[in-house]
Amino acid sequence: MRILIAEDEARIARFMERGLKANGFASTVVEDGISALDLASSGDFDLLVLDVGLPRMDGFQVLKALREMDVQIPILMVTARTGVDDTVQGLEGGANDYIAKPFRFEELLARVKLRAREATSGAGTVSADVLQLGDLSLDLRTRIASSTADGQSRSVELSSREFTMARVFLENPNQVLTRDLLLSKVWGYDYDGASNVVDVYVGYLRGKLGAARLVTVRGAGYKIVDPGA
């Protein structure tokens, strides 16, 4: 797996590069957004680890430009910003994952390995604008989820949080996602609200997408499945 690291802090870039190479990943480092955009759109890389605070062109601008060019390289956003709005902006802008500084290398490695598994596991169909699993599709532009049940089509608009959670599930089909992982991806690492918020929103999604699609894995978390498979 060929990984492009876009990080302008030399110490952090070396930390990531050495660790990934030690675990069998080929990695290349660039220090600004323009270079990141050029290399990420070349087709020579399988994953972009993208820092938000880049010079010349920040990470969100790089992300937007790549997706507007229909470049579907998986993108892991890295940032010192821990606000929920930044997390949602990245995920809704087309990022596949999000990790906040400071982080342990083991956490970064786990996320990189997850992306590698997805690349070879025959995950759910992904296009530039739609995620799909079985008869369920999620339009990334309109936040509308559509499905077919008993021969009838059904569409429902999702709230911002419901949409972000549904997207995380559909980007990781048939994989068990822990409550902590969902909490960090949808609400951010600094969330300090109700502890059962993940369960509450899974309940909301079950009501809108169908209860059979979201399976509880006792003691582990939840996963999305295709009930018709």
- List, for residues 17-29, the tens digit of each pLDDT value: 999 988 888 999 9
Residue 122 pLDDT level (bands cut at 50, 70, 90): very low
Q: What is the predicted pLDDT for the residue at 147?
A: 85
85 vs 200, residue with greater confidence: 200
Are residue 113 and residue 136 in the same domain, yes or no?
Answer: no
Confirm if 106 and 100 have CB atoms less than 8 A apart: no
Q: What is the pLDDT of residue 116?
A: 72
Based on the domain organization, do 162 and 218 belong to the same domain? yes
Residue 134, in any domain of the structure: yes
> What pTM, to 2 d.p., does this model score?
0.54
Looking at the predicted structure, is the pLDDT value of residue 182 above 60? yes
* Whether 116 and 204 share a structural domain: no
Residue where one domain finishes, among candidates 86, 120, 154: 120
Q: What is the pLDDT of residue 89?
A: 64
Quick check: is 69 in a domain?
yes
132 is a domain residue: yes
Identify the pLDDT of residue 127: 46
Q: Which helix (H) or strand (E) holds 164?
A: helix 160-170
CA distance 124 to 101: 30
Would you state the structure tokens that stand for residue 115, as one six-digit string? Answer: 């992306």
In a domain, 229, yes or no: no
Q: Tell me how far apart the alpha carbons of residues 75 and 36 are, in angstroms, rounded to a whole number.
A: 11
Domain count of the fold of the chain: 2
Between these two residues, 130 and 4, which has the higher pLDDT value? 4
What is the average pLDDT across 222-227?
Answer: 92
Among 2-6, 116-120, 147-151, which range has the highest average pLDDT? Answer: 2-6
Closest to 66 in 3D by CA, of 122, 4, 119: 4
- Is residue 150 situated within a structural domain? yes
Q: What confidence score (pLDDT) does residue 84 get? A: 57
Which of 62, 88, 120 is the C-terminal boundary of a domain? 120
14 pLDDT more than 90: yes
Residue 205 lies in a domain: yes
- Residues spanned by the domain of 59: 2-120
Does residue 133 lie in a domain region?
yes
The pLDDT confidence band at residue 191, using thresholds 50, 70 and 90, is low
Lowest mean pLDDT among 4-8, 77-81, 211-215: 77-81
Q: What is the mean pLDDT of residues 58-87?
A: 82
Q: Are residues 135 and 76 in the same domain?
A: no
Q: What is the DSSP letter of 139?
A: E
- CATH code of the domain in which 149 resides: 1.10.10.10
